[in-house]
Amino acid sequence: MLTYVRTYEITYDRTTSGKMPQLNTELFNSGVRTCNKYSSDLDDHHYGMQEYEDRETSYMIDMMGKIGVMDFMYRSDAQKAEEQLQKAFPYEDIHMYEESKVKSGQKEKGPRGEYLIHTDYDYCLKYYNPHQTVDENVKVVTTLHTTYNETKLRFVITWQSEKVARKAKIEQKCVDAPLAIMGKIQHVVEKSLRELNDWETEVFDNAEIGCHFDVISESRSECTPDIIERVRAEKRKNEEEE
């Protein structure tokens, strides 16, 4: 059994790290759900404005008639301080107590993880590997993550074959079969990024694209320009249909 792997990665030279909750909502409204490696379902409430309640607990020490002389984030630290102070001042009234504050309100839900699933297509969340099921033995894993200065959209297509395949067959399975899904997801992601961040068209036109094939033997061949153009054309087709 051989596994052919095609990795197609698009790098935008802008970050959206400060607006991930809003991006999560934009993607959701266009049919794309976020999930993580261990997600077992896709639901309709991990997006948008949600009620929240946060409880903050501090551990305080009163001593020598003064309130809140010391405060700690952790109970263990406060207990150690209390014991040391009681040893140092055995005749003083020194005691620890906890103080809790509850904050509540609304905030926008962030992504459940970096994996993307488009609900218009078949998908599977089993085996800690969220992916779209494209064709017989063909899978697409899509991830989106951002750093302090760039955003990356990555597609990893895998096809399992019982024997060594010809180039045409590999392209049929790893290029043509997942093309519609890739074009749709890329269109949704770029549309959401553009509307949310007001990125100019050049950010998407000049995005860096990496594309290569791997097999178990670790051999690699670079994607030809026509393969990259197919994905771009599929994205443009989605834009024209809106």
**Residues 149 and 40 reside in one and the same domain:** yes
The mean per-residue pLDDT over the stretch 11-22 comes to 93
Count of CB atoms situated within 10 Å of the CB of 63: 19
How far CA 60 is from CA of 52, 102, 157, in Å, comes to 26, 17, 55
The mean per-residue pLDDT over the stretch 109-138 comes to 90
**Residues 101 and 182 reside in one and the same domain:** no
CB-CB contact of 39 with 86 (8 Å): no
**Residues 143 and 211 reside in one and the same domain:** yes
The tens digit of pLDDT for each residue in 94-104 reads 989 898 888 88
% of the chain beyond a pLDDT of 70: 98
**Separation between Cα atoms, residue 237 and residue 57, nearest integer Å:** 54
Position 219 scores a pLDDT of 58
**Residues 171 and 65 reside in one and the same domain:** no
**Residues 177 and 204 reside in one and the same domain:** yes
**Which of 34, 24, 195 is CA-nearest to residue 108?**
24
Residues facing 33 on adjacent strands: 117
Position 135 scores a pLDDT of 82
By DSSP bridging, strand 49-63 and strand 94-108 are: antiparallel
Q: Is the model's pLDDT at 107 over the cut of 90?
A: no
Position 41 scores a pLDDT of 87
> Residue 81's domain spans which residues?
52-107
Residue 26, CA atoms < 13 Å, CB-side half-sphere: 18
**Residues 82 and 66 reside in one and the same domain:** yes
The tens digit of pLDDT for each residue in 64-105 reads 888 888 999 899 999 999 899 899 888 888 989 898 888 888
**Separation between Cα atoms, residue 73 and residue 114, nearest integer Å:** 31
Residue 55, CA atoms < 13 Å, CB-side half-sphere: 4
**Residues 179 and 78 reside in one and the same domain:** no
In one-letter notation, the amino acid at residue 53 is E
**Separation between Cα atoms, residue 47 and residue 26, nearest integer Å:** 9
**Residues 121 and 101 reside in one and the same domain:** no
The last residue of one of the domains, among 107, 142, 176, is 107
The last residue of one of the domains, among 60, 88, 107, is 107
Range with lowest mean pLDDT among 36-40, 47-51, 152-156, 187-191: 47-51
Assign 235 a pLDDT band (cuts: 50, 70, 90).
Answer: confident
**Separation between Cα atoms, residue 76 and residue 139, nearest integer Å:** 49
**Residues 145 and 223 reside in one and the same domain:** yes
How many structural domains are present in the chain? 2
Residues facing 160 on adjacent strands: 3
**Residues 79 and 161 reside in one and the same domain:** no
The mean per-residue pLDDT over the stretch 4-11 comes to 95
Position 220 scores a pLDDT of 66
Q: Per this entry, what is the length of the chain?
A: 242
The mean per-residue pLDDT over the stretch 92-120 comes to 90
**Residues 15 and 63 reside in one and the same domain:** no
Q: Is the model's pLDDT at 237 over the cut of 70?
A: yes
Position 218 scores a pLDDT of 52
**Residues 115 and 103 reside in one and the same domain:** no
Assign 131 a pLDDT band (cuts: 50, 70, 90).
Answer: very high
